[in-house]
Structure 1
């Protein structure tokens, strides 16, 4: 190993951890991203979930054979354990094939691991089941922390629809904000069950909480006009799941999706729409909205500044 490059990783991690841990303590945040591919030679995403660490290694052509790579990774993990002050048994490592997360289908496939590890993490005094071993994603997208709070603040007395709801974190926040009703829709029964677990963890039980297994594109066509006050939509970049009638490609499909949501909104209703497709261009001209505001910067948490690979918009009917 090139010891010069290795010490660069050590120094960089120490520097970002010192800075971000201070901000996290100040904001009483226990789940946040520490390091995100800062150095090309060390292609990791490192996240803290309370006293546990999730390390995702992005696969690239590193030129190392398997034995050398294992040794390199082992040394990197020792450094991470030392700087973040956590025992190595509390570090969970996954390998990701691409830089892009949230591609439907991929995250639904369970990984073959010796031992499954899920636990309860806290965010904003709310509880969420997090799994650091079985899936490509942990169950809680940390980059939406600010957006979730905005939804909570606007949910009181509202009928809320959460599309592509994943594990229902936006729905939990809406429940914490005293929404009148919450409908969570996803194509994965696994994630809908997970969303229901998150509701139970927070002691939210109400006859007006609905969990619907459906293809969102088709589901939107079935909705009555003026059904909801607030819609959250964070679709995958692409999905061709066999369970869908049609495939989804967010750049070409977002106009229809958003217009179908607008039709389903009550007067003065609002949509929070986000996508992590980096080359995304919003088709404002053909979206039938009263007002559209790019809130990407306003919703970017401190641990993603300069790193965020997603867009976020607030859209009014």
Structure 2
């Protein structure tokens, strides 16, 4: 999907600051997206987002902006921090995601590599100084909530586990076991930290730092699974490309599932629609029937739902 958004409009910035003011009132204790310009619901602000992360305001720009826009943005953020009701803001940063290395400028405070956040009552570590991967994808909140609500007594497989957010939610919901697999050992290490942060029993959790495509036999030994979660990256150089490799995952799922097992299959690329996974499942795992698509959080509203995160449930 080509991005043909017009340049950002400085005259639209009051809408941005109004959203921040409202967001800081409604969810100051939990991690939240306060403004999602990427959903293209506000004309002139299509390339800016803002997250509230443990008393840190994190603004991201996804395209270059004019000097005038940046000056007004910085001025408005300073004015926000100066308001007495916002004295709890510890830092304000602007991350320039369009530049190599996604450099971050701090208007207030400084970056931290490990901050504790709360989401739906559960705790996670996030990284403010990372150029992209902060440790928790905020648009997946309702997916984690669903897993927590449906985990009781289940054996769960968490493919592409990253920092094990689904695993934390599953154990909180009473899962019998969660098996996490991801090539990045450092991400799994942070996942273990997330479990410990919630005082969870890690003897019920496995952390496998392996290539999924070379580990089907090992994964089968820990099964069968009542629930499999597949939340792959859209693209990971040298290891995974959604449009080319997802089918290899889908065809393996039936052999790993228990009777009446379920699959939560996710795709977060705007280049594919929900039919990409539905059609792929029908072709490569026809035993699995489409049940429903989970909602995304309201704060991630998108003018085109098919361009946003797609979390879809299938069942044997």
Query: Fold match, TM over 0.5?
Result: yes
| Aligned counterpart in structure 2 of residue 44 of structure 1, from 48, 51, 61 | 48
User: Equivalents in 2 of 1:13, 1:206: separation in Å?
Assistant: 42
Gaps of 5+ in 2: 1-7
Please name the residue that 1:103 is paired with. Answer: none
User: Equivalents in 2 of 1:274, 1:93: separation in Å?
Assistant: 29
Please name the residue that 1:271 is paired with. Answer: 263
| Aligned counterpart in structure 2 of residue 285 of structure 1, from 282, 285, 305 | 282
Give the aligned CA root-mean-square deviation in angstroms.
3.0
User: Equivalents in 1 of 2:45, 2:295: separation in Å?
Assistant: 29
Cα distance, 1:222 vs. partner?
A: 4.0
Please name the residue that 1:8 is paired with. Answer: 12
Cα distance, 1:199 vs. partner?
A: 0.7
Distance 1:123 1:41, change over 3 A: closer
Please name the residue that 1:253 is paired with. Answer: 245
| Aligned counterpart in structure 1 of residue 152 of structure 2, from 156, 159, 164 | 156
Post-superposition Cα deviations, 1:167-203, rounded to whole Å, max 9, x if no partner, equal 1111100010111111111111111111011011101
Matching of residues 160-239 of structure 1 within 5 Å: 160-224=156-220, 227-239=224-236
What SS class does the counterpart of residue 13 from structure 1 fall into?
helix
Q: What number of residue pairs does the alignment pair up?
A: 287
Please name the residue that 1:101 is paired with. Answer: none
Please name the residue that 1:33 is paired with. Answer: 33
Distance 1:42 1:159, change over 3 A: closer
User: Equivalents in 1 of 2:179, 2:47: separation in Å?
Assistant: 38
TM-score by length of 1: 0.79
TM-score by length of 2: 0.80
User: Equivalents in 2 of 1:130, 1:224: separation in Å?
Assistant: 31
